Structure 1
Amino acid sequence: MLNIDKPAGLTSHDVVGRVRRLAGLKRVGHAGTLDPLATGVLLVALGRATRLIEYITGQPKTYRTTIRLGQTTDSYDAEGEIVAEAPVQVDEAAIRAALDPFRGPIQQLPPMYSAIKRDGQPLYKLARQG
């Protein structure tokens, strides 16, 4: 097993492909997908360790983010065209109150611009195709 710090701009599949080539192995897989814009730990399994992936993917995860307040993009991410801007004046208490619903276990509806697959295609590719 490898913990790889995936940089922005690569898909999880890209990382697995690179590990596969460097390790000279056919059986390489990852436990969970990170969006191409996301950075973070991607757990990569090699060889027989790929059998353990099914036991790992359901484990709790923690996410950390940086946000920009006052801008909206057409893709809901940093790569999209800015479609709205507004001045923002908030204090720390307001930010903490807004973040409270995101603490603990939550069920989130993924945006169209995500790595979740539908009919074998990542949603972000389908969204960019219109």
Structure 2
Amino acid sequence: TSTGDQEGEVVSEKKVALNEAQLKDTLKKFIGDITQIPPMYSALKFAGKPLYEYAREGIEIERKSRLIKIYDIKLISIEESIITIEVDCSKGTYIRTLAEDIGETLGCGAHLKGLTRTQTGNFKLSDALTIEALEAMSMPSREKVLLPTDALLEGLSSIKLTMAQTEAIKKGQSIDFISENDKEVRLYSASGQFVGVGQPDLQGRLFPKRLIANIL
């Protein structure tokens, strides 16, 4: 299709004659480091303007290929001309482009029919609850299933502050901190309470970057 998904116009049609072995062999070719050219119908910006706006105006912008990584692809099902796959991929992967590239390799063409993100980082769709389910719970039950704020930052290193350091950070002051890099860190008080995110420099100082309100 013109957009690589169901929203676009059909630009070509070919007969589909696929078997499971052929599909699995083709999918294996996409595992590992591969390059992708971002689709025109994407939020990627050119000169401050999203590419999809240019696409709607009929303007084609030259895009540079990007290196992404496909950790794994599993064939889930084949139903006539529709195949369902599960993809474990790096950030920045365009699944719509992957679908088109797989179709091109198979020789029949393809577009993306549907997309469900089942996991990002440590957060899984299978662990999710609806707003309605949460509203139906008692407050104690709700508190048991809701994740703490710092669960979003598990990829960052963490440090425990002394009481004096915590007070300084709360006041927006920097503290002594030796770091080998300037990557953000999670900050915790001496009692283990999440304080916020700190930004170290390479001159032995740590600055508060984002703090949690009402720190005890």
Above 0.5 in TM-score?
no
Using CA pairs below 8 Å that are at least 6 residues apart, which structure has the higher relative contact order? 1
Which is helix-richer, 1 or 2? 1
Q: TM-score range by the shorter chain?
A: 0.3 to 0.5
TM-score, normalising length: structure 2: 0.25
Which is strand-richer, 1 or 2? 2
Q: Which of structures 1 and 2 has the bigger CA Rg? A: 2
